[in-house]
Amino acid sequence: MVLQVKICGLKDDESVLTAIEAGADFIGLVFFPKSPRHLEITEAAKLADLARGRVKIVALVVDASNDELAEIITHVAPDYLQLHGRETPERVDEISKLYQIPLIKAIGVKTQDDALLADDYPMAEIILFDAKADPKISELPGGNGIPFDWEALSGQKEQRNFMLSGGLNAENVKTAITLTGATIVDVSSGVERAVGVKDTGLIKTFIETVKTA
């Protein structure tokens, strides 16, 4: 099985084109003002147009309102919404019914009990397991470059295909895939030369490493 790759937090044409040409399957555009990877709607729309039809476009939001979601869907037209906040199952179900767009629900993981929360989100097309953020250290729910104990996902591969994130880079991603059985891997800070600044060489290396795993 060929593994899939999502490069998240892209902010410029060069990074988007590099990801596409290197074989990424998804690109992530971030809509969260506290993030160094945040995009305004007009910027995101241009990047989405560059990528449309070539890779799947993911709009990452954190506890977004209906008005915010409607604006993103209208102007960016993503293929997926990635809900990366504290959205309850009821809220995710509401978004699914309102917008009829495939959803990725992020679950912050520290222990196996955290991973079991994925069972509460059958309406999400993809579950993304990420490292649970410590609010004392960072206001960001993801993109902190911190891996978690992948053994916490024991048994998940028998239940669902899922996306894995959290501190991944070209050096550890093969091990992460082997231990978890993830079918999709998601990277952001692991392909950056500075916070929020993507490195095209690291993007290429990461994708090549995954595709040959």
pLDDT tens profile 82-136:
999 999 999 999 999 999 999 999 999 999 999 999 999 999 999 999 998 765 5
Please determine, looking at this structure, whether the domain spanning 4-211 carries the CATH number 3.40.640.10.
no
Output the pTM of the full model.
0.94
Tens-digit pLDDT profile for residues 35-44:
999 999 999 9
Least confident of 11-15, 61-65, 107-111, 146-150: 146-150
Q: List, in sequence order, the alpha helices (H) in 23-141.
A: 41-51, 66-76, 89-99, 112-115
Q: Give CB contacts under 8 A, 24+ apart, made by 168-174.
A: 168/206, 169/202, 169/206, 170/202, 170/205, 170/206, 170/209, 172/147, 173/206, 173/209, 173/210, 173/213, 174/209, 174/210, 174/213
Active-site positions read 8, 134
